[in-house]
Structure 1
């Protein structure tokens, strides 16, 4: 379920940044800058968010495949942990860091939950 929520959040943010010129005012920490460089930043951030939404949706659709699921949930978790560091250091508005923190924790829980199952399966095969 967290993967679908993650997909939804990233897709909405991505589409917002790509299609709505004043999206920076809606997202904590972006402010209301203007100009071609800021527009470029918004478009690039939008594409990155849509890419993450796609990865998350793919992980959800392939949730039966342990290797794909574990790789993608670990990767998405690592991304959000890195974003926590960036948001904490460079963004005076900590709401974005909090959102990345929550997503990182939930994605890590998904990863560890599935990993524990495979560890238990491996352990039972040895006995």
Structure 2
């Protein structure tokens, strides 16, 4: 379920950044910047956000594959932990860091839940 929520959040932010020029006013930390460089930054961040939405949707659709699920949830978790670091250091508005923190915690929970299940399996069955 968290992967679907992650997909929804990332896709919404990505589409807003690509198609809605004033999206920076709605997203914490972007402020009222303007100009070609800012528009380029918004579009690049939008594409990155859509890519992450695609990864989380793919992880959800392939959730029966332990290897793929574990790799994607760990990768998304690491991304969000790094975004927490960047948002905490460079963004005076901490709401974005809080959102990344929540997503990182929930994705890490998904990862650890699946990982724990694989630890309790019969080792002979994994060969």
TM-score norm. by structure 1 comes to 0.96
> Aligned Cα RMSD in Å?
1.3
Q: Match of 2:63? A: 63
How many angstroms apart in 2 are the aligned matches of 1:49 and 1:75? 14
Deviating beyond 3 angstroms after TM superposition, the runs of 4 or more aligned structure 1 residues are 122-126
How many angstroms apart in 1 are the aligned matches of 2:44 and 2:58? 21
Q: Does 1:23 align with 2:49?
A: no
1:84 CA displacement? 0.2
How many angstroms apart in 2 are the aligned matches of 1:62 and 1:119? 20
* Unmatched runs of 5 consecutive residues or more in structure 1: none
Q: Aligned pair in 2 of structure 1 residues 113, 124: CA closer, same or farther (>3 Å)?
A: farther
TM-score norm. by structure 2 comes to 0.96
Number of aligned positions between the proteins: 126
1:32 CA displacement? 1.0
Q: Does 1:49 align with 2:56?
A: no
Q: Match of 2:4? A: 4
* Unmatched runs of 5 consecutive residues or more in structure 2: none
- The one-character-per-residue Cα deviations of 1:89-125 (angstroms, maximum 9, x if unpaired) are 0000000000000000000000000000001004585
Q: Match of 2:84? A: 84
How many angstroms apart in 2 are the aligned matches of 1:122 and 1:13? 42
Q: Match of 2:119? A: 119
